[in-house]
Structure 1
Amino acid sequence: MAFESLSDKLQNVFKKLKGKGRLTEADVKAALKEVKMALLEADVNFKVVKQFTKSVEERAVGTDVMNSLTPGQMVIKIVNEEMIKLMGSETTTLELNPRNELTIIMMAGLQGAGKTTTIAKLAGQLKVKNYSPLLVACDVYRPAAIKQLQINGEKQGVPVFSMGDGHSPVNIAKAAVEHAQKNGQNLILIDTAGRLHIDENMMDELTAIKEAVPVKQTLLVVDAMTGQDAVNVASTFNEKVGVDGIIITKMDGDTRGGAALSIRAVTGKPILYVGMGEKLSDLEQFYPDRMASRILGMGDILSLIDKVQAEVDEEKARDMERKLRKADFDFNDFLDQFAQLRKMGNIGDLMGMIPGMGSKMKGMEMPDDKSIKRIESIILSMTAQERSHPDIINPSRKRRIAAGAGVEVAEVNRLMKQFDQSKKMMKQMSGMMGKKSKRGLFNLPF
């Protein structure tokens, strides 16, 4: 999970700060030295780290902070605010023309950054917003690049315009504009060729496309896993071609995440989206405040709510809430919950979005696809009566259920225990969500 190591280190620093009744200037400097090391290890640009810690220190050693009743929490608040500022403060959205005009978006990036997958995801999301997109295959060099775009376009229900590898990308882009105008499409997304490394031919080709057709936005796709290289790539593309916004992919991987914290500060260009997985909904709008909250271990309840609204059946959710309030939650509901959670993505990542849950989850084993399937097979080995009335499951029933699912009785016992724990936790979460209007969405520790 992105930022896990950085988040752990920062939370340890903050724990020490909050443990002190009063803070001295030396305390703040010592804490910021640890913050600096944690950011550098997360592959954040050195100049960015230096400026960030300087800004925090200038604000944190003021008398207002030192003399406050909770100086540790005030310092954390400053770190949070400066981190949001570092990543752009305001959320930047994609600039599109009105729907009665044609909008052209050109996607650029190195080979392997996830450009072709990302452009199809973006097209799918804009289609849901009532645009009529057309994907354009201008990568005529990489073997199977056109086929890959066609497969991804098909997944999103978006048409793909291609002319094969015998035509120049500039001519393909021009022909695509004519095609879109004839067929009533109001949004063109151009998938351009990547290279393993930056070279002049690639830059010249991108510039030529921009000169041939009226590109509204040039979006650069960078791979979070490449850390500092992603920042260098973004700087070069912006200097040579001109970039309007950045999309960072593979943020769900085991990445140090330095790119997300450095790119805006180094290039001055906004991060528009982050790729958090394979599904359409895993291309997320980038919110600097939400990302800072995740990094500092404060959760991200707003993004969790967005995911729930996008993926969960509303009627089922209301029904579940009623059941939880009446303590009427059974194994049928448990099975249904797993199905809903699987649609939303990695369970560990989802739990980490709940304020305070990140630290509680340390050492907990989150179920993967394999263990979820095993749980489902155990539940499906129960009779309808047992699923509806878990209390009747006695030792002899457990032995029969285990035999039916092809597992040990110990696994059935473990599931029964998980079921009881989930029931209690979901009841607490239901209460927390119900109170959000009174307490505010973020139960921040300051």
Structure 2
Amino acid sequence: MAFEGLTERLQKTMEKLRRKPKVTDADLRETMREIRLALLEADVNFTVVKNFVKTVQEQAVGAEVLKGLNPAQQIVKIVNEELTKMMGETAVPLNKSDHIPTVIMMVGLQGAGKTTTAGKLALRLKNEEKARPMFIAADIYRPAAITQLKQVADSIDVPVFDLGTDVDPVEIVRQGMEVAKEHHNDYVIIDTAGRLQIDEALMDELANIKELAHPDEILLVVDAMTGQNAVNTAEGFDEKLDITGVVLTKLDGDTRGGAAMSIRAVTGKPIKFVGEGEKMENLDVFYPDRMSSRILGMGDMLTLIEKAQKNFDEEQAAETMRKMQENNFDYNDFLDQMDQVSKMGPLEDLIKMMPGMANNPALKNINIDPKQFLHIKAIIQSMTSEERENPDLMNPSRRRRLAAGSGRPIVEVNRMIKQFDQMRKMMKQVTNGNLNGMENMMGGLGNMPGMPGGKLGKMAMNRMARQMKKNKKKRLKKNKKRK
């Protein structure tokens, strides 16, 4: 994640504060200084940092906070709330037209990822709204721009309207809009040209397209790795086009991430989506409160739960739960679970969404090789049907055969079987305790290094518990309707 350096710095600062039996004015000043330096090093805009620190300090100063039972936790809470406000407080949905099509104009500098982001957005609309989007290829300047758009479109089965590279982009958009209306497409996504930097010719062309198409959304695609340049780009495009929102790409890259925290504060325009990954599915709604929690190392359980709901088959999950309760979870089920977990994204990213794990020293620089999954699959696929269905059959001779069949060392086979047995026992304990068992298990995370203790730690766990209960009620309602 883009904020790892900032998370580490802020967590160290807060941990130092927690260890103090009493927080003095001097301690508070030192904490504010550390926070200011951490934000500046993360490439957050200087004016934004100055205003942020001033606001936090004003709220933290006073007898109620400094003499409170958990003053350090109250300061962390204030920092969390102000970070959320800085980034926009709440998620902002896409603007939609009262009549079809809703027109979305993608703009940005060359190399920011406009075309790929357009594809990700179209796929999201198809999956979540069962929409019928259409692309208009209005970038006639960049070599192979239209070819790239068609490749992206083919991969997600979305039509593209283009007239080649010899027709004026405004005319392409005009004719494309007519075709979209004829075909009753719900959304039109216009892939416009970019430049290496903002120039008059580019802006004039984009302004002409805007005047013709009357887009409901003008989404500026910004590369998070460009730091403060991202903020300057956002200001430039907003001044000329009055953008409606921002999409941050490459947020999973090796970057300080300050752009994400500065853009909303500087331009007043919301960040609507973030791209974290290269797959077409890797486009997420931007939730300022969740991002703030991740930055402070408090995890992001709501996003983790949503990813699980999106990628796990409900009926299959219910069957797996039943098997766990009856202690009948076997290697076939294990393979299915591995496949579904792998769809959610890199395992190290999922672990870091859990409270206390984001900057846990034991998980620092964790990098789980995807090949490990393939090795486990190879071992399980070397088993007979009987062995997969009855994990207790694994005697030494069978294990040696699995090692030979999968091409993996016997030590690795033994380790995998041992871990599977341990996992089975843990799952049985959790499922027998039902939801309360899960809450108790997760509650234990509050004592782990890096997990906020006191009221803030309880808040994170209570929020997760409430969400789990809410999800359970929704599932019960759905099942009743089906019946």
Superposition TM-score tier, normalisation by shorter sequence: over 0.9
Q: Structure 1 residue 66: deviation in Å?
A: 0.9
8 Å contact from structure 2 (residues 439, 465) kept in 1:
no
- 1:395 — aligned with what? 396
- Between the two proteins, the alignment pairs up a number of residues equal to 443
- What one-letter code is carried by the residue in structure 2 that aligns with 1:385? E
Which runs of structure 2 are paired with 1:106-125 in the superposition (5 Å)?
Answer: 106-125=105-124
Q: Structure 1 residue 167: deviation in Å?
A: 0.4
Kindly indicate whether residue 311 of structure 2 is the aligned counterpart of residue 298 of structure 1. no
- 2:462 — aligned with what? 440
- 1:342 — aligned with what? 342
Kindly indicate whether residue 174 of structure 2 is the aligned counterpart of residue 174 of structure 1. yes
**Distance verdict in 2 for CA 1:46–1:168, change over 3 Å:** same
Q: Structure 1 residue 199: deviation in Å?
A: 1.6
- What one-letter code is carried by the residue in structure 1 that aligns with 2:41? E
**Distance verdict in 2 for CA 1:329–1:223, change over 3 Å:** same
Distance 1:428 1:123 in 2: 42
Q: Structure 1 residue 171: deviation in Å?
A: 0.5
- 1:245 — aligned with what? 245
Q: Structure 1 residue 308: deviation in Å?
A: 1.4
SS in 1 for 2:242: coil
- 2:9 — aligned with what? 9
Q: Structure 1 residue 41: deviation in Å?
A: 1.8
SS in 2 for 1:248: strand
Q: Structure 1 residue 443: deviation in Å?
A: 7.2
Q: Structure 1 residue 185: deviation in Å?
A: 1.8
**Distance verdict in 2 for CA 1:424–1:238, change over 3 Å:** farther
Q: Structure 1 residue 397: deviation in Å?
A: 2.2
**Distance verdict in 2 for CA 1:417–1:145, change over 3 Å:** same
- 1:227 — aligned with what? 227
- What one-letter code is carried by the residue in structure 1 that aligns with 2:185? Q
Distance 2:165 2:336 in 1: 48
Distance 1:153 1:123 in 2: 9
SS in 1 for 2:392: helix
Which runs of structure 2 are paired with 1:255-404 in the superposition (5 Å)?
Answer: 255-358=255-358, 359=360, 362-363=363-364, 365-404=366-405
- 2:33 — aligned with what? 33
SS in 1 for 2:463: coil
- What one-letter code is carried by the residue in structure 1 that aligns with 2:114? K
8 Å contact from structure 1 (residues 136, 191) kept in 2:
yes
CA-to-aligned-CA distance 1:190-232 (integer Å, 9 cap, x gap): 0001112222211111111112221222110001111111111
**Distance verdict in 2 for CA 1:370–1:136, change over 3 Å:** same
Distance 2:52 2:343 in 1: 38
8 Å contact from structure 1 (residues 170, 208) kept in 2:
yes
- 2:156 — aligned with what? 156
- What one-letter code is carried by the residue in structure 2 that aligns with 1:119? A
8 Å contact from structure 1 (residues 225, 257) kept in 2:
yes
> For structure 1, which segment, 33-42 or 72-81, has the greater mean C-alpha deviation from structure 2 after superposition?
33-42
**Distance verdict in 2 for CA 1:352–1:48, change over 3 Å:** same
> For structure 1, which segment, 324-333 or 29-38, has the greater mean C-alpha deviation from structure 2 after superposition?
324-333
Percent of aligned pairs with the same residue?
51
- 1:43 — aligned with what? 43
Q: Structure 1 residue 360: deviation in Å?
A: 7.0
Q: Structure 1 residue 85: deviation in Å?
A: 0.3
Give TM-score, length-normalised by structure 1: 0.93
8 Å contact from structure 2 (residues 103, 216) kept in 1:
yes
- 1:190 — aligned with what? 190
Distance 2:167 2:348 in 1: 46
- What one-letter code is carried by the residue in structure 2 that aligns with 1:440? N
> For structure 1, which segment, 313-322 or 67-76, has the greater mean C-alpha deviation from structure 2 after superposition?
313-322
**Distance verdict in 2 for CA 1:70–1:47, change over 3 Å:** same
Distance 2:433 2:300 in 1: 14
Q: Structure 1 residue 432: deviation in Å?
A: 9.6
- 1:90 — aligned with what? 90
**Distance verdict in 2 for CA 1:38–1:218, change over 3 Å:** same
Q: Structure 1 residue 90: deviation in Å?
A: 2.0
CA-to-aligned-CA distance 1:17-67 (integer Å, 9 cap, x gap): 222221101111212222222222222112211211111111112211111
SS in 1 for 2:165: coil
Distance 2:364 2:425 in 1: 20
Q: Structure 1 residue 254: deviation in Å?
A: 2.2
Distance 1:104 1:430 in 2: 47
Distance 2:333 2:27 in 1: 50
CA-to-aligned-CA distance 1:287-332 (integer Å, 9 cap, x gap): 1111111111111111112111211111111122223333433322
Q: Structure 1 residue 425: deviation in Å?
A: 5.9
Distance 2:430 2:54 in 1: 39
Give TM-score, length-normalised by structure 2: 0.86
Q: Structure 1 residue 97: deviation in Å?
A: 1.0
Q: Structure 1 residue 113: deviation in Å?
A: 0.9
Unaligned stretches of 5+ residues in structure 2: 441-460, 467-483
- What one-letter code is carried by the residue in structure 1 that aligns with 2:32? L
**Distance verdict in 2 for CA 1:207–1:135, change over 3 Å:** same
CA-to-aligned-CA distance 1:217-248 (integer Å, 9 cap, x gap): 21100011111111111111111222110000
SS in 1 for 2:273: strand
8 Å contact from structure 1 (residues 355, 442) kept in 2:
no
Distance 2:53 2:334 in 1: 46
- What one-letter code is carried by the residue in structure 1 that aligns with 2:278? E
8 Å contact from structure 2 (residues 123, 281) kept in 1:
no
8 Å contact from structure 1 (residues 355, 443) kept in 2:
no
**Distance verdict in 2 for CA 1:108–1:363, change over 3 Å:** closer
Distance 2:90 2:29 in 1: 29
**Distance verdict in 2 for CA 1:30–1:273, change over 3 Å:** same
SS in 2 for 1:178: helix
Q: Structure 1 residue 431: deviation in Å?
A: 8.3
- 2:446 — aligned with what? none
Distance 2:132 2:161 in 1: 13
Distance 1:427 1:258 in 2: 43
Distance 2:328 2:132 in 1: 45
8 Å contact from structure 2 (residues 42, 256) kept in 1:
yes
- 1:137 — aligned with what? 137
> For structure 1, which segment, 256-265 or 353-362, has the greater mean C-alpha deviation from structure 2 after superposition?
353-362
- What one-letter code is carried by the residue in structure 1 that aligns with 2:100? E
Pairwise CA RMSD:
2.3
